Structure formats: structure tokens, C-alpha cells
Amino acid sequence: MKTLYIITVLMLWTVGAGTIFTIEENSSVETLISRESLESKKNLQNSELQILRNLINKKVANYEDLINIIIIHKQKFDELMTFKQKEKYCLENNYIKEIYQRNSLINRGMVGYSIIKIYNLESSFMFWLTGMSRYALRDLQVLRIVGLQYSTNDSLSGTQALGMFDAAENEINNKKSWGKAILINQQIEK
């Protein structure tokens, strides 16, 4: 016979305190807590925040990381569950140029290509004509999103990959304010 219990469990990795469980009469509270903690840890590993935390600690970013960054920036993380769905979305929207192995290392050119396509940044005639990541990185350098000392084939860490996306987003936000008038309090003497 099963009974419905409402148990308040305080755990560091859960959001809510009250959780509803259906347990058998002979089940112990310890079994219940361990079941709940396993489910919470599984959900936490797949969360957007956990992916970003793991990315910050990576010394070298890979293709899967690039896909996750794009999906997070486009705010589609909750809609697209599997890697294949995320990859298909990125390819269909032209945010990535080619499909690679999940663990393939990415370079600054690949990230530059994605940034230009995602944010519709100004691009050169050569990038428009060829779509090469070499010209994508050059365009980001002209826009002062990436320093001039970097090369297209330089690998990058997770923090550097996130930094490139954040720099592009900051540049866009700064340009949005260019056309707005700045009101200055002036005293008009009569």
C-alpha cells in the first residue's frame, strides 16, 4: 500500500523546501533523501548555470561548448534538450558553418564567425563574399571586440570564448546608445 507524504527536506542543491513524494510504507527517510539528491544533482548538471561554471574552468574550449554558448545567448536552452537539437538549430540559423565532432577544439575564427552571424555585426566585403572565419576575426578586430594580437587558428579557453561573446554584446549595447540624445541641464540666462 502506498501513501502520499509531504516532507520538508533542506538540501543545498534544491530550490524548494516542500516536495511531494509517493513512498511505500517500509521506505526510510534516508532512502527518500538520497533519491531526491540524485535527481537534483542530475538536473543541476544539465542546467544553464552549471554549463557556464564548467566552461569557465576549462583550459581549452571545444565544439560542444561553442554550441552551448550560442544556445544560451539566443535564450533557447530550455527549448532544445539534446546536443543534436542544439546543433541543428545553430546550423539552420547559420550560426555555425560546419558540423564537427563534439570534442573538437574550437578556435577564435570559429567563435568570430558565430558572433558576427548571431549579432548581425558589420562585416567586410571579404567575409560576405567568402564566409571565411579568417575575415570574421578580422572584422571583430576592426570593431575592437578582439585584440589585434590574436590569430584565427588560436585555440581558446572557456573563459576566453565567453569573453568574446560578452565583448560583442557590450559593443552592441554601446552602439545602441550612440544615436540617443544626451540631455544636459543647462541654465539659460535671460
Among the residue ranges 6-15, 26-35, 46-55, 141-150, the one predicted with the least confidence is: 6-15
Q: Please give the pLDDT value at position 39.
A: 52
pLDDT tops 80 at residue 137:
yes
What is the average pLDDT value for the chain, to the nearest integer? Answer: 77
Phi, psi dihedral angles at 90 (to 5 degrees): -65, -40
pLDDT at 168 over 50: yes
Q: How far apart are the first and last CA of the chain?
A: 90
Nearest partner of 162 among 77, 89, 82, 54, judged by Cα: 54
Of 67, 54, 71, nearest to 158 (Cα)? 54
Report which of 54, 76, 75, 73 is spatially closest to residue 114, judged by C-alpha positions: 73
pLDDT value of position 175: 79
- Residue 183 has a pLDDT of 52
Give the pLDDT of residue 184: 53
What's residue 186's pLDDT? Answer: 52
**Nearest partner of 71 among 63, 105, 176, 131, judged by Cα:** 63
Higher pLDDT, 30 or 100: 100
Q: How confident is the model at residue 106 (pLDDT cuts 50, 70, 90)?
A: very high
